[in-house]
Chains A and B, each alone.
Chain A
Amino acid sequence: MNQNLYDFIVNKGHHQYRHTVDWCLAEEYAAKGLSPIQRMADRFERLCREEEAVILEGEQIVFLRTVANLPAIFTEEEWAEINQKHYIHELGFMSNLSPNYYDTIATGLLEKRKTADPYGQRAIDNILMLSDKYLEKAKKQGREDLVEILTQVPRHPARSFREALQFFRILHYALWLEGNYHNTVGRFDKYIWPYLKADLEKGIYTRDTALALLEDFFLSFNKDSDIYVGVQQGDNGQSMMLGGEEVFNLLTELCLEASCNNKLIDPKINLRVSKKTPKEIFTKATHLTKAGLGFPQYSNDDVVIPALERLGYAHEDAANYTVAACWEFIIPNVGADVANIAALSYPKAVDTALHSSLLTAKTYEEFFATVQAEITAECDRICAGIHDLWFIPSPFMNVLMDCDIYNGGKYNNFGIHGTGIATAADSLAAIKKYVFEEQSIGKEELIQAVDENFENTPELLHTLRYEAPKLGNNDDFADSIATALLDSFAAALTGRTNCRGGIYRAGTGSAMYYLWHADEIGASPDGRRAKEPFGTNYSVSLFAKVKGPVSVIASMTKQHFENAINGGPLTLEFHQSIFAEEDGIEKVGMLVKSFIDRGGHQLQLNTVNLDRMLDAQKHPENHRQLVVRIWGWSAYFVELDKEYQDHVIARQAYTV
């Protein structure tokens, strides 16, 4: 790694080259009556002109954002009108795509230009114009290496590992500059490996020099990422997928090492594994977990691929899956899924049933049936609400996809998250045990206690919160309820067609809804008080006293993920000390392997140090580089809003 460059970037030295623009584009476009795609094309052209070439000392992978903002292309009135006419997802883009870097890097933009539509051609011309600015700069600075590279790429196919990396950097940079977001990296070790392999065979690189270059390349993901803000800083979707069927090569290993050495939150590393994955790979990956970045996130090919096929994905596409910004399973090149379009709140379904049907329900089964009906009704509402979906077109993104995504990709499915499954399962377990089986808690008593936020019933609160059966203890009593909830959710979405002709996919993720949905209801029958958040994604409740990670894994691998494969991991937290010795690292690796062998679908592990987080809240200046995992992405702790910080801290109560 180039340490000087690393320090310069980490200390934000490169921000000095940035400026903002105050162009009133929207008004101009409105006056001219330009269409949305014309506006996108025009803004991109102006931005490419405005961008300056900056080549930092010793920088091997160039392209740096110098324009820090993207002026709006619609006036407020126009945008309001569009929102009225259409269902608009998030900021309006079809994000969370995995474009075909592979093909583009292998053929060059001139070749791509031949088949692109006029807007795509214009985007390509502008990228070439900008890359020529870098070429001129390289000549001026006497950077012969860059002159050679930029003469070749992105116009022509990459001929070497370094050209492939530079080509990728330009494509990725252009996607962000165009305005789309959550632009994922895809199966990097699959499509870049042939270049490294050839260079290694030619003797151009050794393992060490390849690693050093890769570290500089990984650093490039962190140059502009602060401009790519999602819900919070760090939520930028630069997800990289490694491994998978037939793929675990030297580049995979080098990527794990580069991430470990750089200790930066981008790119976000995912690893595809299966029953066939040897123990040593889990050990290697656990060394990265030890670094405390919240990577890698694992997904299980044995579960994900067949489940995607069941949903109608062709085998070759399912086998080629990657992840969206967080953990949603998407298909590179041809998938135009909107994998995070909405979310179901399980606890809300339970809360509604509690107030509408508990008093009249004669059995637990009868009560659960009303919860199921509530889940179905909520899915009805969610799906009915999504119609006339419209996207702001991104011409260059469309160039990089193998199909015209705006007129329908090969897959046009919608993913729905499922929030708070543990809160709901634990609530139902308590109702089943205490209200119906033991009859030790009265129905009115429970409803009143929940409505009063347990203010007047401390003993009841204690029982529900700390003594009732909880998901995560390998106890079928609670675990089977989670299974039934997930099945109900999946069944409620089966057979529906969405407004783009695709289907709906049930998922196990929560995204930020673990906070938002928790605010929609008061307390819950699992002893959760009002305002307390749910666990993130597919996790146990924040205050559940669980026996430990082995039981959690046993519990959380029982469910039928083949019916609910939109994505969303089980999260486990480990104290840093467990990784102190190689033996501990191997054991964590074995635990991950157990999860995979038992048919878990997705797993994410965190290394945490509670004392350090508490100190960072008091003295943020001392902990600028402290990284924590939020719902599907890693972030610098001190850059998060306090509610997100507090949730990470609350998660630590039962850390191993």
Chain B
Amino acid sequence: MTGIVFDIKEMAVHDGPGLRTTVFFKGCPLRCRWCHNPEGLTFQPQLMVKDARCIGCKNCQKGCDHPECKPFGRCIHVCPENCLEIAGRQVDAKALAAELLQTAEILGDAFGGFTFSGGEPLAQPEFLLALAAELKPHHLCIETSGFAGPEIFRAVLEQLDYIIMDIKLADPVLHQQYTGQSNDQILHNFEILRQSSKPYTIRTPLIPGITDTKENLAAIAALIGDSNWEKLPYNAAAGAKYKMLGMKFENHPAK
């Protein structure tokens, strides 16, 4: 069982209890305007170019025979400053688990474990479940938009120890407008989560003028009741990665 991930980050301090390593799944059904992980949007590998370090040697444009470089027309194996990298690695669940398990003892001793983030981990449900099965009995956590069919959500919920789920906008129309999807499934899954016995946290990114409005926050508060709720301040530097991917941050919320 293979899936595609774009990063593995050790010591992600905001991704659940204790010392944790976070796996970022590539690909997401949502298109939140403020997204700060643009390399997590598509399910395909993407070329990321860190232009700021470029010394202008043009080595990467001289052509090469590496199959992985082919789709991008530039060689990623020749840059003296390591400016080019491919975001997105197709990986087998067992192999990835073996890699992660090398530090499992340290993480476990420090009351932590592994977190699945993205992108949207629920968008690769079989891979996610396969990976979770390989990593058990270590403490597993997910950071999700909650956007998935209820059967998928239930199946994943059962395998994990801690859920961090976003509720970004309470209003379905605004949710559609700013994330490209309705929040029907998300709110339905939230009910499933609330009725489960799993510990969870709800998160709302505070996007100026969009999610941080009085109305939205009041509506979310009413929806989630006494659930544990974290409001995350918006990172103004979030757009930096778009340029590296040759993408435009057209929907910058500050605009």
Give B1-40 as 1s and 0s: 1 = Cβ < 8 Å from A's Cβ atoms: 0000000111101100011010000000000000000000
> A590 with B80: in contact, given A550-B103, A550-B106 (CB under 8 Å)?
no
Chain A binding surface SS class: helix
Sample of 16 more A-B contacts, CB < 8 Å, known A587-B11, A590-B112: A458-B59, A458-B80, A459-B59, A548-B21, A549-B10, A551-B10, A551-B102, A551-B103, A583-B13, A587-B13, A587-B110, A590-B19, A591-B11, A594-B19, A598-B106, A656-B11
Give the total of B residues in contact with A, Cβ under 8 Å. 25
Check if A111 is an interface residue, CB within 8 A of chain B.
no
In the complex, which residues of chain B have a beta carbon less than 8 angstroms from the beta carbon of A578?
A: 11, 13
What are 8 contact pairs spanning A and B, CB under 8 A? A458-B57, A458-B80, A459-B75, A463-B77, A549-B11, A550-B11, A554-B106, A584-B14
Check if A176 is an interface residue, CB within 8 A of chain B.
no
What residue of chain A has the Cβ atom nearest to residue B10's Cβ? A548
Q: Which of A462, A466, A474, A545 has the most CB of B within 10 A?
A: A462
In the complex, which residues of chain B have a beta carbon less than 8 angstroms from the beta carbon of A593?
A: 110
A461 to B80, CA, bound (A): 7
Check if B251 is an interface residue, CB within 8 A of chain A.
no
In the complex, which residues of chain B have a beta carbon less than 8 angstroms from the beta carbon of A594?
A: 19, 106, 109-110
Check if B107 is an interface residue, CB within 8 A of chain A.
yes
> A553 with B13: in contact, given A458-B59, A459-B78, A461-B80 (CB under 8 Å)?
no
What residue of chain A has the Cβ atom nearest to residue B57's Cβ? A458
Could you tell me which residues of chain A, from 547 to 576, have a CB within 8 Å of some CB in chain B? 547-551, 553-554
Check if B196 is an interface residue, CB within 8 A of chain A.
no
User: Do B13 and A584 touch (CB < 8 A)?
Assistant: yes
Check if A467 is an interface residue, CB within 8 A of chain B.
yes
Give me the interface of A with B, judged by CB distance under 8 Å: 454, 458-459, 461-463, 465-467, 474, 545, 547-551, 553-554, 578, 581, 583-584, 587, 590-591, 593-594, 597-598, 656
In the complex, which residues of chain A have a beta carbon less than 8 angstroms from the beta carbon of B57?
A: 458
**Per a CB cutoff under 8 Å, which of A463, A548, A590 touches B110?**
A590
A465 to B111, CA, bound (A): 35
Question: Distance (Å) between the CB of A544 and the closest chain B CB?
Answer: 11
Q: Which of B18, B21, B82 has the most CB of A within 10 A?
A: B82
What residue of chain B has the Cβ atom nearest to residue A554's Cβ? B103
In the complex, which residues of chain B have a beta carbon less than 8 angstroms from the beta carbon of A581?
A: 13
User: Do A550 and B107 touch (CB < 8 A)?
Assistant: yes
In the complex, which residues of chain A have a beta carbon less than 8 angstroms from the beta carbon of B110?
A: 587, 590-591, 593-594
Question: Distance (Å) between the CB of A585 and the closest chain B CB?
Answer: 9
**Per a CB cutoff under 8 Å, which of B14, B18, B21 touches A590?**
B18
> A590 with B111: in contact, given A548-B9, A548-B11 (CB under 8 Å)?
yes
User: Do B77 and A467 touch (CB < 8 A)?
Assistant: yes
Question: Distance (Å) between the CB of A599 and the closest chain B CB?
Answer: 12
User: Do B82 and A462 touch (CB < 8 A)?
Assistant: yes
Give B52-85 as 1s and 0s: 1 = Cβ < 8 Å from A's Cβ atoms: 0000010100000000000000010111101000
Question: Distance (Å) between the CB of B201 and the closest chain A CB?
Answer: 12
What residue of chain B has the Cβ atom nearest to residue A590's Cβ? B110
